[in-house]
Amino acid sequence: MRLWHEDLIGKLPRAQLLGQHRECCALRGKGWGKKHATVNYVFEYHPMKLVRYHLLIIEEMKNRGYNVDILWEDPLYRGKQSERWEEEYIASLDEYGRYDEHDDAYMEECAQNLASKGVHII
């Protein structure tokens, strides 16, 4: 799984949006720090950058009327199987912008990946 380019979140089909939520939950929980070729870059940043991204996913899900466990809106929450992040981790989520990797080239890569699945959104 990948983290889709942030500008695509509002255009993702249901399956990809829900898959993105599951991926973010896994990465925030026991998957944190476990290398995977497609998302390795996530671990080079502060965890709150992932939380910020995940909150964008949650916002889009709520806009579409999907039910989301409110616990995931807590930036320190990491799922039922993981210890919460320490209070020191929390800061203004606005401090954590986009992933540097989510540039124009990555946008094109994501668009091509979606197109290969029959999803044309650009």
Q: Which residue has the higher pLDDT, 88 or 13?
A: 13
Question: pTM value?
Answer: 0.92
Would you say residue 91 has pLDDT above 90?
A: no
Cβ contact 21:2 at 8 Å? no
Query: Considering only CA atoms, which of 61, 62, 76, 63 is closest in space to residue 17?
Result: 61
Cβ contact 106:7 at 8 Å? no
Give percent above pLDDT 70 in the chain.
96
Q: Which are the contacts of 46, defined by CB distance < 8 A and separation ≥ 6?
A: 89, 96
Question: What's the mean pLDDT in 22-39?
Answer: 92
Band (pLDDT 50/70/90 cuts) for residue 90 is confident
pLDDT at 35: 85
